[in-house]
Homo-oligomer: A and B are copies of this chain.
Amino acid sequence: MTDSDGALAANRTFYRAFSERDVALMDALWAVQAPVLCIHPGWPPLIGRAAVLHSWHGILNNAMAPKIVFHEGRPLVHAGLILVVGNEIIGDALLVATNGFVVEDRQWRLVFHQAGHQVTEIEDPTALPRGPLH
């Protein structure tokens, strides 16, 4: 299994924990020693395992939370850390999410999650921006 395969498998596990509301699986996915950062859409950044996991407990235990679908992500492999970017569909909303993984105790673990709403479609990514200025 390549590093890329390992990170993509961990990414699928993350979305399984998310969609199945599996708190224990979510807890086990986040790194223990490495510093962690999580930015939910619209939220201020959460830094540190306690704050990050507390936010996920609230989300996963919320019976009103809509269904989530994740499209297989695309890995960007850096030495020591792999970023996986892809689209999430939560209820009617389209989001872009980036997840960062490192190896800790021989397992790929999450150190980063940032998700935000995608409101523009740019069919030609080299076209001049038509969306928000930044």
Number of interface residues of A (CB under 8 A): 61
- CB-based contact A37/B78 at 8 Å: no
- CB-based contact B90/A42 at 8 Å: no
**Residue A76 interfacial (CB < 8 Å):** yes
- CB-based contact A37/B114 at 8 Å: no
Distance in angstroms from A39 CB to nearest chain B CB is 5
A-B contact pairs, 19 of them (CB 8 A): A37-B98, A39-B116, A41-B116, A42-B117, A42-B120, A42-B132, A43-B118, A43-B120, A44-B125, A46-B125, A51-B126, A54-B125, A59-B133, A62-B133, A65-B133, A78-B81, A81-B81, A83-B100, A116-B117
Residues of A participating in the B interface, judged by any CB pair closer than 8 Å: 18, 34-37, 39-47, 50-51, 54-55, 58-59, 62, 64-66, 68, 74, 76-81, 83, 85, 87-88, 90, 95-96, 98, 100, 102, 111-112, 114-122, 125-126, 128-129, 131-134
